[in-house]
Chain A
Amino acid sequence: MATMARSFLQAISKDEAVAPPLRVVQIEGLAVLKIIKHCKEFAPTLVTGQLLGLDVGSVLEITNCFPFPVRDDDEEIEADGANYQLEMMRCLREVNVDNNTVGWYQSTVLGSYQTVELIETFMNYQENIKRCVCIIYDPSKADLGVLALKTLKLSDSFMELYRGGNFTGDKLREKNFSWMDIFEEIPIKVSNSALVSAFMTELETDTPVSQGDFDRLHSSTTPFLENNMEFLIKCMDDLSMEQQKFQYYHRNLSRQQAQQQAWLQKRRTENMARKSAGEEALPEEDPSNPIFKPIPEPSRLESFLITNQVSNFCGQINGVAGQNFSRLYLTKALHE
């Protein structure tokens, strides 16, 4: 506790100085267990919850968390939700739990979590807290023996762009911004208090092989892969739809340009005629003419997000396929 107080003081004294970039997220075993339990209990419904902890230098410590009740979209439940949060925070404060919100967690299905809502929630949180992260947990991967916990943060450059509200091609090109720059993944460190560690060792002595290993050696990953492929195909469809939108926009734009040129030509000839007739020349631009109305360029945000998702799926498939290779070779060796 003393070291915590000292570094907190240091953090405060650095007041206006820019905080060091977030390098590592340190999460307590307790919070991990709670997240796992909550997400698993309500699978396949997606659930969310709040993360509580401390922000110390370049490490964000997550010491506790609590789940949000599943809400239907209803007006009065909004106020209820806020009340619930306040109540929980107050109660936890009384038992000396850190009650600074440092982010939220949500469960996902097969890793399809990049949506606009995620970004909006991030922006909401960012208004109030200087640094917040989102933890994504995928309960379906637990069957494969993997702890699928990921920490995400919106990159700063993306946040600026989003606040500008402008996602046109020009802006993105000048910043050299690609779809990979939206989210930043931060490595996770797990820490446990010594007491807890002692208890766990007591409860389950070190076996040479754990159940997780058995799960990993299981060779039937087909349902997982099938689901992944399905999602991948759907996402590709979405992506191609977005691309069609762009093509449409380009076509419209070029058509408009052609129209403008034609109109301009007409004006010029008219002006020539007028000049020869000695009248005033008409202006070459006419903003009230509908063909001069600038067509809004569709936002690239959606396509970026979808691209992210697709790459996620690809990564997952790669990982599982790689594992399967090892498994197959293993069975081959065993058989001989």
Chain B
Amino acid sequence: MAATAANEHTVLQFAAPSSATTTPILTARIHPLVIFNVCDCFVRRPDSAERVIGTLLGSILPDGTVDIRNSYAVPHNESSDQVAVDIDYHHNMLASHLKVNPKEIIVGWYSTGLGVNGGSALIHDFYAREVTNPIHLTVDTGFTNGVGAIKAFVSSNLSLGDRQLAAQFQEVPVDLRMVEAERVGYDVLKATAVDKLPNDMEGMELTMERLLTLINDVYKYVDSVVEGRTPPDTNIGRFIADAVASLPKLPPQVFDNLVNDSLQDQLLLLYLSSITRTQLSLAEKLNTAAQML
């Protein structure tokens, strides 16, 4: 972008962070593993450090979303005017991680604590040398404002004429998502301690209980609307109608047949596996109890 030469005053301008080759970063998608990593590193930080920084690994999708999948902490020293980052460590860890998963490349860096300060700008500079347009993630472990804020920033350089003035950090919307497998373990991950991982049947029980509660709630809601106690909400009504309509309309005879057939299949499988088990115990008795002469 050229400065307007006509005026005497030069215009404060942003250096375009996106050139023709790189797409601008629109959103950041973060996997919960990254948050876990950051929290863990924060809890384990050496007593002298106030905050923790580290590298973010992931990939940049062609539509401008940054997919942040993994991270590792980097030791650093920070004083009021100086920042020292252990670059060797950073490169070593990067090499090790790349050995396992060569698709995860550096996409940026993170730091704990709210907001961005001067030290961060320097660190961001360092990361900008490693990858074009790094993303900066702040995870507020101090819970200022009573909220654990997770923010992502992209920086663009402010320059006045020829001189570099400052780097401006623009916030980028953050999308926290969980892959299915992680969602399964989600309950387990949320509590501070879980005594036992639920196995098949217990999980099933839990699920059915929850479903029952849901249905009960809906029932109560419909009842109260019909009796006029709560004002009807057409949206909710539409949802309920959709849900009820999604049950397939089969004549009861056909449905019963379906269910019975499936039941029989399952019973057959159970029978087969019980037989196999019996066979196993028989075979074992024969094998070890066999006497030679």
Q: Would you call B287 and A300 a contact (CB within 8 A)?
A: yes
Selecting from A5-13, A25-33, A122-130, A276-284, the interface stretch reads A25-33
Most chain A CB within 10 A, of B178, B190, B193, B267, is at: B190
Residues on B with beta carbons closer than 8 Å to the beta carbon of A41 = 101
Q: CB < 8 Å: which of A213, A246, A307, A315 contacts B211?
A: A213
Residues on A with beta carbons closer than 8 Å to the beta carbon of B252 = 335
* In the complex, B229 has a CB within 8 A of chain A: no
Q: Would you call B41 and A202 a contact (CB within 8 A)?
A: no
Closest residue of chain A to B176 (Cβ to Cβ) is: A203
* In the complex, A3 has a CB within 8 A of chain B: no
Q: CB < 8 Å: which of A87, A192, A216, A317 contacts B192?
A: A192
Q: Would you call B182 and A37 a contact (CB within 8 A)?
A: yes
Q: Which residues 300-336 of A have a CB within 8 angstroms of B?
A: 300, 303, 307, 310-311, 313-315, 317-328, 330-332, 334-335
A239 to B263, CA, bound (A): 30
Q: Which residues 184-239 of A have a CB within 8 angstroms of B?
A: 187-204, 208-213, 215-217, 225, 229, 232, 236, 239
Q: Would you call A199 and B39 a contact (CB within 8 A)?
A: yes
Q: Would you call A253 and B292 a contact (CB within 8 A)?
A: yes
Proximity string of chain B (87-111) to chain A, C-beta cutoff 8 Å, 1 when within and 0 when not: 0010011011001110000000000
* In the complex, A146 has a CB within 8 A of chain B: yes
Residues on A with beta carbons closer than 8 Å to the beta carbon of B158 = none
* In the complex, B148 has a CB within 8 A of chain A: yes
* In the complex, A19 has a CB within 8 A of chain B: no
Closest residue of chain B to A206 (Cβ to Cβ) is: B190
* Size of interface on A: residues with Cβ below 8 Å to B: 99
* In the complex, A57 has a CB within 8 A of chain B: no
A145 to B182, CA, bound (A): 10
* In the complex, B184 has a CB within 8 A of chain A: yes
* In the complex, B5 has a CB within 8 A of chain A: no
Q: Would you call A328 and B204 a contact (CB within 8 A)?
A: no
Most chain A CB within 10 A, of B100, B208, B267, B272, is at: B100
Q: Would you call A68 and B189 a contact (CB within 8 A)?
A: no
Q: CB < 8 Å: which of A69, A210, A229 contacts B186?
A: A210
* In the complex, B289 has a CB within 8 A of chain A: yes
A90 to B99, CA, bound (A): 16
- Given A36-B185, A95-B44, A193-B180 contact (CB < 8 Å): no
Q: Would you call B193 and A319 a contact (CB within 8 A)?
A: no
Distance in angstroms from A303 CB to nearest chain B CB is 7
Q: Which residues 207-238 of B have a CB within 8 angstroms of A?
A: 207-208, 210-211, 213-214, 217
Residues on A with beta carbons closer than 8 Å to the beta carbon of B247 = 334-335
Residues on B with beta carbons closer than 8 Å to the beta carbon of A163 = none
Distance in angstroms from B7 CB to nearest chain A CB is 48
Proximity string of chain A (241-277) to chain B, C-beta cutoff 8 Å, 1 when within and 0 when not: 0010010001001100100000000000000000000
Residues on B with beta carbons closer than 8 Å to the beta carbon of A216 = 203-204, 207
Residues on B with beta carbons closer than 8 Å to the beta carbon of A250 = 290, 292
* In the complex, A288 has a CB within 8 A of chain B: no
Proximity string of chain B (261-293) to chain A, C-beta cutoff 8 Å, 1 when within and 0 when not: 011001101101110110010011001111011
Q: Would you call A196 and B39 a contact (CB within 8 A)?
A: yes
Q: Would you call A212 and B184 a contact (CB within 8 A)?
A: yes
Selecting from B13-21, B29-37, B126-134, B164-172, the interface stretch reads B29-37
A201 to B190, CA, bound (A): 6
* In the complex, A131 has a CB within 8 A of chain B: no
A256 to B163, CA, bound (A): 97
A319 to B41, CA, bound (A): 39
Closest residue of chain B to A197 (Cβ to Cβ) is: B192
- A-B contact list, 21 entries, CB within 8 Å: A94-B75, A97-B40, A146-B203, A172-B288, A192-B191, A194-B192, A195-B141, A199-B39, A202-B147, A204-B178, A210-B183, A211-B178, A215-B184, A216-B204, A217-B211, A307-B283, A310-B280, A311-B277, A313-B273, A319-B201, A325-B266
Q: Residues on A close to B: CB < 8 A?
A: 28-30, 32-34, 36-38, 40-41, 64, 67-70, 84, 87-88, 91, 94-97, 139, 142-143, 145-147, 149, 169, 172-173, 178-179, 187-204, 208-213, 215-217, 225, 229, 232, 236, 239, 243, 246, 250, 253-254, 257, 300, 303, 307, 310-311, 313-315, 317-328, 330-332, 334-335
Instruction: Please list the 6 inter-chain residue pairs (A to B) with the smallest Cβ-Cβ separation, ordered nearest first.
Output: A142-B181, A319-B200, A314-B273, A69-B99, A96-B44, A213-B207
